[in-house]
Amino acid sequence: MARIFCVANQKGGVGKTTTAVNLAAGLARIGQRVLVVDLDPQGNATMGSGIDKRSLQLTVYDVLLESCSAAEATQRNPKVGYDVIGANRELAGAEVELVDLERRNLRLKQALAEVGDAYDFVLIDCPPSLSLLTLNGLCGAHGVIVPMQCEYFALEGLSDLVNTIKQVHANLNPDLQIIGLLRVMFDPRITLQQQVSDQLKAHFADKVFDSVIPRNVRLAEAPSYGLPGVVFDPSSKGAQAFVQFAAEMVQRIDRLRPLGSRPAAATDSAAGPL
Ligand code: ATP
Ligand code: MG
């Protein structure tokens, strides 16, 4: 069964989508079967995977409103090597439409349960908010990957996200864990970035991934070609960092508790999602 991960950070423009599509492409390169779910009305993960969001007949919006199955909404661009459930502006309406519906937090979880056997990884690209859409992502996932830039305000935003994840873990989804914090757009020449990176490691220890994604212009150029950087320019520093990160993810999930198993109850709730 697939491991399902949200790529989440309520801060905008921190590298969520770049992480989702490049991790997907990196995992595909090392033989993993991957589905990317675009849970952002901006549709950047959709476009960045070479799928035109404007011409989609079925999107994650239809999946959330249960007018189609996850499999029916799945697209494939053979160039990128992974599947995509796309999104476009229509998804912004789901936020309002879901409010009055039953099981509104669990729509995505239920839809993904039907396709779980077809994939090793499902990566959910969340919007830059702690909205009902993000909540659907967090309720449907086994873990959260948090991309962050090593800047002063990044740490401040992180506590809101960690608190949300703790609440979802406690009340809605006991499977949810923070898998790790990924340092992105990193420039080691900037002293502040080094300092924030050191603080992150001091505070979150091995929850900080070893892989570091450098600031790299090829990663920024790739979406305009409808490709993840890993496919667009595999020899670039950014692409290589994401392939290394994919390998680290595969290793790291081997260390997670097996799916469906609950550790001894006392330690589970005490440990929380961190
Ligand atoms: P949003 O919150 O709007 O969804 P996001 O968190 O998904 O944004 P991205 O869209 O992935 O962030 O990245 C924001 C911008 O930074 C994009 O223009 C992207 O191409 C660029 N970018 C992301 N990662 C890198 C990197 N490692 N090096 C250079 N540019 C990058
Ligand atoms: Mg994004």
**Does the C-beta of 14 come closer than 6 Å to ligand 1?**
yes
Please indicate, yes or no, if residue 268 is contained in any of the structural domains: no
Q: Are 163 and 58 within 8 A, CB to CB?
A: no
CATH number at residue 123: 3.40.50.300
The residue whose CA is least distant from atom 13 of ligand 1 is 15
pTM of the complete model: 0.95
**Environment class of 201 (CB within 10 Å of its CB; exposed 0-12, middle 13-18, buried 19+):** middle
Determine the pLDDT at residue 266.
39
Please indicate, yes or no, if residue 90 is contained in any of the structural domains: yes
Query: How many separate domains does the chain show?
Result: 1
Please indicate, yes or no, if residue 271 is contained in any of the structural domains: no
Determine the pLDDT at residue 254.
79
CA angle 243, 125, 251 (to 5 degrees): 35
**Does the C-beta of 12 come closer than 6 Å to ligand 1?**
yes
**Does the C-beta of 128 come closer than 6 Å to ligand 1?**
yes
Q: Which ligand is nearest to the CA of 9?
A: 1
Print the domain residue range for 145.
Answer: 3-253
Please indicate, yes or no, if residue 265 is contained in any of the structural domains: no
**d(CA 18, ligand 1 centre) in Å:** 6
Determine the pLDDT at residue 265.
44
Q: Work out whether strand 74-76 and strand 34-38 pair parallel, antiparallel, or are unpaired.
A: unpaired
Residues with pLDDT less than 50, the chain: 263-270
Neighbouring C-beta atoms of residue 214, cutoff 10 Å: 16
- Pocket test of ligand 1: the residue of 7, 10, 11, 18 to mutate, having most ligand atoms within 8 Å of its CB, is 18
